A and B are shown apart, each in its own frame.
Chain A
């Protein structure tokens, strides 16, 4: 840790991991309700469990982004954070808002649009926290060294805040409501969040591989360009069936097919940098997460996104289990893994330890990645069967669901594996260990 103010990142990462634990717990509950529908049906009905599952995901990912920015921006700008105090006040607002949202959901206090259920005071808190954050990091960058990594990261974070403002516009006309709802949801995850992703990934590769910054910078701009060139008009794949004009079927199909390109480029980018890199960085777990992030994002967001993005395919699959299959792996690959990668990298440095527990961490990587891959496969099968029975044969929804129970049991199993992986990750981060276990330990053993 070169700058003492980077320490604030530690608290952001801790809060992020606590919310991560809450997210997967409620995910497990929702998965269990699928196979045992009477479970807690009065106390925590499915809609509440799912609301907490998705909202906790969003707030912990953003909390992780904040932490990542507070960690890397001082190193990039070569100066301390503008105001450490402001960063802590911002975190307090974030914790009160996130915790307040989860508790109020349990008491049925929420708004009614998917993912934007936060009560108004929480939404306003999010805006205030985001403004404090943007002011803080922007001032740090403006006064310090300006790099590609911090430029693209800041652009992504500003975009995140700007597009969130559409959460305050809820038209009385459902079709209009949906159209601008996607300004938040799509332009986040398939737009500006990709800028955040590529810049954090670039920072990690710079530190872990020792490749020349000039090379990293060019890749970052190229990938960011691919992301926005495809992703902005790619919003069209959500405008097929909600009352918007028919031309979106063409625009959405073409541009969202191209959305695979930035994710493929990130795979090439990260693997080429690791191969080219001369540095033998001791934190192997961070390298694993960085490579895993690019790979799983490519499959989850890229391949599984393409799977149902052409309008002729989407006509049949829209709103079936194919969508959560894609959603789970895409979020895990792109944004969960990204956060876990930067946390894996930064945590030992913030705690002033060697990366001791990395074997445990790497086991958690394989548990989570394997669990999520299996979950995606079974949901895809469920979605294909559902598409055929419901959309082609015309059988009714609940009759079809009864035939999918086997897949839902397997999804629950993969969820259990994932949760074990998540808890193991948190344990590996939290528990201090005295001994350094190195993968190549026998080579460095002293000669007798």
Chain B
């Protein structure tokens, strides 16, 4: 490395520059935080049931098989748009019923098929989960995923 760059110069660039980029990052995060609350996520529709549904999702660690908005494990289908995939735009109640029936029918036990465990959810938990998935499907995700397949 050239003699022009002394150690203290390199150190100062590192500390100063990192601080600079970090401040910008914090600022943009704050702006994004407000954007999510006010514009992209229907925060006003975040009902008690949706909140409980998120907890059902977490309690059974669904994310270690499925993806949600593309994040998670890659072992089972995307659920960020499962509500849409089940026809929820035209028939919301029908889509939610399908999700609940699906949950109740697991595991299939079919040889050679990936197995989803039976989580023995109560009717209320199933409703909450379905409501959470409906709410999630309405987040403005800049047009992702490209199609209903997720």
Mark A residues whose CB is within 8 Å of B.
Answer: 34, 37-38, 41-42, 45-48, 50-51, 110-114, 117, 148, 172-176, 178-179, 214-215, 217-219, 221-222, 224-225, 228-229, 232-233, 235, 238-249, 251, 315-316, 318-321, 323-324, 390-392, 394-398, 400-401
Closest partner residue, chain A, to B5 (CB atom): A218
Contact of A117 with B142 in the complex, beta carbons under 8 Å: no
- Asked if B131 lies at the interface with its beta carbon under 8 angstroms from chain A, I say no
A134 to B65, CA, bound (A): 35
A246 to B141, CA, bound (A): 9
Most buried by B among A34, A50, A235, A316: A50
**With known contacts A179-B29, A397-B150, A229–B21 Cβ distance under 8 A:** yes
A384 to B135, CA, bound (A): 30
- Asked if B63 lies at the interface with its beta carbon under 8 angstroms from chain A, I say yes
Closest partner residue, chain A, to B3 (CB atom): A218
Partner of B10, one of A175, A222, A321, A390: A222
Contact of B57 with A112 in the complex, beta carbons under 8 Å: yes
- Asked if B91 lies at the interface with its beta carbon under 8 angstroms from chain A, I say no
**9 A-B pairs with the lowest CB-CB distances in the bound complex, closest first:** A112-B58, A319-B70, A47-B64, A241-B144, A221-B10, A41-B115, A397-B77, A225-B14, A318-B70
Contact of A248 with B10 in the complex, beta carbons under 8 Å: no
A218 to B139, CA, bound (A): 46
Contact flags (1/0) for B60-81 with A, using CB distance below 8 Å?
1111110111111111111000
Closest partner residue, chain A, to B144 (CB atom): A241
- Asked if B123 lies at the interface with its beta carbon under 8 angstroms from chain A, I say no
Contact of A398 with B69 in the complex, beta carbons under 8 Å: no
- Minimal beta-carbon separation of A296 from chain B (angstroms): 22
Contact flags (1/0) for B29-67 with A, using CB distance below 8 Å?
101110111001101001000010011011111111101
Closest partner residue, chain B, to A41 (CB atom): B115
A228 to B36, CA, bound (A): 26
- Minimal beta-carbon separation of B60 from chain A (angstroms): 7
Closest partner residue, chain B, to A181 (CB atom): B71
Contacting residues, chain A, for B136 (C-beta < 8 A)? 174
- Asked if B105 lies at the interface with its beta carbon under 8 angstroms from chain A, I say no
Contacting residues, chain B, for A175 (C-beta < 8 A)? 36, 40-41, 139
A244 to B142, CA, bound (A): 8
- Asked if B111 lies at the interface with its beta carbon under 8 angstroms from chain A, I say yes
Contact of A174 with B68 in the complex, beta carbons under 8 Å: yes
Contact of B61 with A233 in the complex, beta carbons under 8 Å: no
A37 to B113, CA, bound (A): 6
Mark B residues whose CB is within 8 Å of A.
Answer: 1, 5-7, 10-11, 13-14, 17-18, 21-22, 24-25, 28-29, 31-33, 35-37, 40-41, 43, 46, 51, 54-55, 57-65, 67-78, 107, 109, 111-115, 117, 136, 139-150
Contact of B31 with A51 in the complex, beta carbons under 8 Å: no
Contact of A232 with B21 in the complex, beta carbons under 8 Å: yes
The contact sample of 14 A-B pairs, CB cut-off 8 A, is: A45-B115, A47-B62, A47-B117, A112-B58, A175-B36, A241-B144, A242-B70, A243-B36, A391-B149, A394-B149, A395-B149, A396-B149, A397-B77, A400-B149
A239 to B35, CA, bound (A): 12
Contact of A48 with B1 in the complex, beta carbons under 8 Å: no
Contacting residues, chain B, for A179 (C-beta < 8 A)? 29, 32-33, 36
Contacting residues, chain A, for B67 (C-beta < 8 A)? 319
Closest partner residue, chain B, to A180 (CB atom): B29
Contact of B17 with A249 in the complex, beta carbons under 8 Å: no
**With known contacts A37-B113, A41-B115, A232-B18, A242–B71 Cβ distance under 8 A:** yes
Contact of A218 with B10 in the complex, beta carbons under 8 Å: yes
**With known contacts A45-B115, A228-B17, A239-B32, A112–B63 Cβ distance under 8 A:** yes
Contact of B114 with A398 in the complex, beta carbons under 8 Å: yes
**With known contacts A46-B114, A47-B73, A320-B74, A174–B139 Cβ distance under 8 A:** yes
Contacting residues, chain A, for B113 (C-beta < 8 A)? 37-38
Contacting residues, chain A, for B148 (C-beta < 8 A)? 394
- Minimal beta-carbon separation of A195 from chain B (angstroms): 10
**With known contacts A179-B29, A241-B141, A316–B21 Cβ distance under 8 A:** no
Contact of A233 with B142 in the complex, beta carbons under 8 Å: no
A242 to B29, CA, bound (A): 13
Contacting residues, chain A, for B24 (C-beta < 8 A)? 233
Partner of B142, one of A34, A148, A249: A249
A447 to B67, CA, bound (A): 67
A347 to B56, CA, bound (A): 46
**With known contacts A46-B75, A218-B7, A221-B14, A241–B1 Cβ distance under 8 A:** no
